[in-house]
Structure 1
Amino acid sequence: MTFLGAALVMVILRDMFHTIWHPTRHGGLSRLVMTGMWRLSSHLRIRRRAAGLAGPLGMVCVVSVWALTVAVAWALVYWPHMPEGFSYSAGLVPAEHAGPVDALYVSLVTLATLGLGDIAPAAGWLRIVGPLEALVGFALLSATVAWILGIYPALARRRTLALRLSHVRGGVTTRELDSDGGAALLDSLASAVSVITVDFLQYAESYYFYDGDENTSLPRQIGHAVSLAELAESAHHPDVRLAAMMLRRALGDLATVLDERFLHTGGDHGRVFASYASDHGNHMRPEPTHQGESDASSAGGEERER
């Protein structure tokens, strides 16, 4: 039982490490919890309200699972050695306080670094294990704070990009785009898209946060970036064509990350973005980026929607 408890502690520490500090493919447990909350919200009747809570509640559930599992795991370490391995304060009968509930109590007190001292490790190696659990509790608290402080700036960057795209929508003509200013605009959008791609790699759980407002919803606005890139590819200005190519590549990287990590459509980039919009309760319908957009561009937008 002691070895089982130690193994559970290592599993949680590994999950914390791969979720927060080395997020190559999500932590396994955190991924299951966040995905489960997201899928559950998609089946509720009031989708937007439920989806809006999926991300924050998912994080709360992940941290709660981490803390509860660590507490139970350390209780499994303590329980086989109670009462002989522990000292008890006056008034407590050791034989009456040596059950699983008492072991869990000791574990919770130690994990929370309360240090009540009514039941304390007395055996040599248990006196070392107790402070180690307190260190794990401190690490859990620090990891939670770091996680929150990392995800919410990532969400702000995502929503800022969506808002910029909503400003561009319908406000850029072909002539304006085919200029130095158009090249600068496309270049800045490509840079912002690349930052969002890195955010999804570093803070994958941010995917499960729903953006209720249309103008700040990247799933709803990303189609405008695709339309801009396609429109600029036929520009006369060489810098605009180069910036359009960079934007298309940045969008391709974003689509690849979204598909590999979350959507698993196996389709082209247009299908991935449409699936991304659908998964967040939207239907991607790219609007014209300028007055009099060509029929070919419109047809391309309709094909991406399909």
Structure 2
Amino acid sequence: MAVNAQAVKQMNQRAQVSKGKALLRTFWKYRALYLISVPGIIYFIVFKYVPLLGSVIAFQDYNIFSGIKGSEWVGLEHFHRMFAHYDFLNVLKNTLLIGLYDLVIAFPAPIVLALLLNELRVVVYKRLLQTVVYMPHFLSWVIVSGIAVGILSPSTGAVNQFIAWLGFEKIYFLGEESWIRTVLIGSGVWRDSGYGTIIYLAALAGINPDLYEAAEVDGASRWRQTLSITLPSLLPTIMILFLLHIGKFLDFGFERVFVFLNPLNKDNGEILDTYIYQAGLMDQQFSYTTAIGLFKALVGLFLISTGNFFSKKTTGESLY
């Protein structure tokens, strides 16, 4: 028995040595890729993981002069305050509604646009149109807001000029709180839909053309081919991007909203990111806004974990 145990131990040691050598060979073989990834790894460690240690101030009455070690611990006080505060509840409602509208309207927009571009048969026109719809993505939100203000102006804007030409009363889009969510979603669709088609067009290019030829022989129309071949082939890509999207459901973007906000539309337009900026940086409520940020992160983690679980069970596609 002792001899057998010794033999098993030696076999395990040899297996571990063999695995270590194989790992070193793999590392050396792909050393260029590992070297290229070093700056990205350093970036995430320094700017993403190290700052997580500061989340502890969500449970303290943080004082910048006392520091983390000298600040008083208050437990879940800031979280209780968060859910009891009217301003926070209103901002949370705005964030949820805007996030839902973005998911329902903005997420499918690149898919539809990619399908339309894929149907174009004139290559030159297709490339030109792709370039035109990509270009807005490279504009900053400050420029996008300036364009939107100009187009939606109640006095000189093209949209209101057209509304007046139809005989209706002009609308102050950025001065009425009922329109701010529409403006935010619409501007996002205009800016990012074209760029979002890149991944879908790449997935469309990978579909076997023999499938379409077989469908044409069977008499299938282009619409039937889209439903039976194109969309099922795109489903893995759609699911992965959908999971990534719901992971940032509460992270709509600070710049995207801040440039459109004003006192007239703030009640319906302010989201968690702009609220954190106001309460955290302007009012210096560091612990309170850290608690809000931690809440956002936990909600995002829950959504992406839940979505990933159901996606794996239903479609077989998942992030991990």
- Name the structure, 1 or 2, with higher relative contact order (CA <8 Å, separation 6+): 2
Scaled by the length of structure 1, the TM-score of the pair is 0.27
Scaled by the length of structure 2, the TM-score of the pair is 0.26
